[in-house]
Amino acid sequence: MPRASIALGTLIACLRAEGVDAGGVYPNIRFAERIGLAAYERVNHSDITLQVGEWTFAEAAFRDAAPPGGEYIETLAPYFSGWPGFATEIRELRAEAVRFIDEIASNIVAGKPRIVGCSSVFQQQCASLALLRRIRELDPDIITMLGGANCEGAMGAVAHERYPWVDFVVSGEADHLLPGLCHLILDQGRDLPAPHVPAGVYAPVFRRGVTRSAEARAIVQDLDTLPIPSFDDYFAELESSSLCSRIIPCIPFESSRGCWWGQKHHCTFCGLNGAGMAFRSKSQPRVVEEIAALRDRHGISRFMGVDNILDNRYFSTAIPALTDLGGLSVFYETKANLSRAQVQQLADAGVCWIQPGIEALHDDLLALLKKGTSVCMNVQLLTVGAHLWDLGHLESSLRRTGR
């Protein structure tokens, strides 16, 4: 389903708190309207390694330089055997993406913004690049910006080097630096001198022979200092959509960043977090305050935690407090070594859907993966969960992630 973005919600709140007039745009809802919710979900829930979403927007981003689809579509065919007319429809989606980007870019430019930024993670890079490129063509005075997990470290440096229509690329956690950066840009324009560019930011000056010094990425140490995210733009867009009655909204929330397990024993396969593995979590009062405030504002009790892993300390603080709130339906990512008592606590608090990271049911393979769990632990969690939760939630989580 087209979801709200924790990145946009948090950054918009940060900008507004520092006096920057900011608003969010959710083209995902409009694109789902355009191509139909069924087609949107087929692409949205396709195996991420196939990169169907990126291919869909590649032509809009790279025009004639985008690779043709014949061989690629043949490769995809076995994965979409249950999709009637797959080859024809996916070509039509790509053509529609070109028209859609032009429409969305025109609408944004008509609002006369001075800065337009996209947050990109997973299969959002080509769509973001396509949108920023078309905006630059329609109005070269608009300053463009790209950030998010797809701009982490070397990926951000290469994105800035290869895509000249993107003025600024932000690598790292932009919550605190973005308002100041926007104030500088609004005062001085896109040609900021190198000493004024914050750490982790690639600016136009670095395309003119000025070397970007090796500085640490931006990171937020105290998550309690962040404002409560703003999702008003998402819900306004959803309310005006013809799909409103068919989309069940779920509010994203963030109670931690990094991974306490990966900080000690980085799982062999994991590419998340980049240089931001250090685990930080919000205090129990702040977690409860945030969830209660968002529930009351939007009248929705469905929440999706975007954390990489549940803070174990919450079992003695935040989880009991969520139980007292009552009536919640919450998703969280956890480790699989939960005790029966902890699973009961989660169920009582309304955490009815988890992603426990069960990558294998073979002890030797789990050891190679550095999961810190065993087959016995994995099976025990599934068994306990079958009694305390609707097993369909667990099965759905496992299926979606290939775990």
User: Is position 188 within any domain?
Assistant: yes
Within-domain flag for 184: yes
Candidates 185, 204, 186; CA nearest to 194 is 204
Q: Domain end: 150, 184, 207, which one?
A: 207
Q: Which of 173, 207, 241 is the last residue of a domain?
A: 207
In 18-124, which ranges are continuous DSSP H helix?
A: 27-35, 37-44, 52-62, 70-76, 86-110
Contact indicator for 4, 247 with CB cutoff of 8 Å: no
**Taking the CB of residue 169, how many other CB atoms lie within 10 A of it?**
26
Domain span at 368: 250-401
Provide the residue-wise pLDDT of the chain in tens; the chain has 403 residues. Answer: 899 999 999 999 999 999 999 999 999 999 999 999 999 999 998 999 999 999 999 999 999 999 888 899 999 999 998 888 999 999 999 999 999 999 999 999 999 999 999 999 999 999 999 999 999 999 999 999 999 999 998 899 999 999 999 999 999 999 999 999 999 999 999 999 999 999 889 999 999 877 766 566 789 999 999 999 999 999 999 999 999 999 999 999 999 999 999 998 888 888 777 667 899 999 999 999 999 999 999 999 999 999 999 999 999 999 999 999 999 999 999 999 999 999 999 999 999 899 998 989 999 999 999 999 999 999 999 888 766 665 444 444 444 443 3
Tally of CB atoms within 10 A around 365: 12
- What are the structure tokens assigned to 291, written together? 């969830």
Q: Is residue 244 part of a domain?
A: no
Q: Is 1 inside a domain boundary? A: no
Q: How far is CA 76 from CA 37, 206, 253, in A?
A: 20, 39, 34
- Are 315 and 179 part of one and the same domain? no
Same domain as 267, residue 149: no
Residues 202 and 267 in one domain: no
Rg (CA), the chain: 22
Task: List the one residue out of 89, 85, 97 whose CA is nearest residue 54.
Answer: 97
Q: Are residues 385 and 308 in the same domain?
A: yes
Tally of domains within the chain: 2
Question: What crossing angle do the helices spanning 391-401 and 375-388 adopt, rounded to 10°?
Answer: 140
Residue 90, class by beta-carbon neighbours within 10 Å (0-12 exposed, 13-18 middle, 19+ buried)?
A: buried
Do residues 283 and 374 share a domain?
yes
Same domain for 43 and 183: yes
In-domain check, residue 232? no
In a domain, 85, yes or no: yes
In this prediction, what percent of the chain has a pLDDT beyond 70?
Answer: 94
- Do 179 and 254 share a structural domain? no
How do beta strands 256-257 and 280-281 pair?
A: antiparallel
CATH code of 271's domain:
3.20.20.70
Listed in sequence order, the residues at least 6 apart from 369 whose beta carbon sits closer than 8 Å to its beta carbon are 267, 268, 269, 359, 360
- 50 and 198 housed in the same domain: yes
Same domain flag for 283 and 364: yes
For residue 292, tell me if it sits in a domain: yes
Task: Look at residue 89 and tell me if it is in a domain.
Answer: yes
- Residues 123, 263 share a domain: no
Same domain, 172 and 46: yes
Listed residues 207, 238, 269: the one ending a domain: 207
pLDDT for 388: 64
Pair (194, 259) in one structural domain: no
Neighbouring residues of 313: CB distance < 8 A, sequence distance ≥ 6: 281
List Cβ neighbours of 290 (8 Å cut-off, separation of 6 or more). Answer: 228, 229, 253, 255, 282
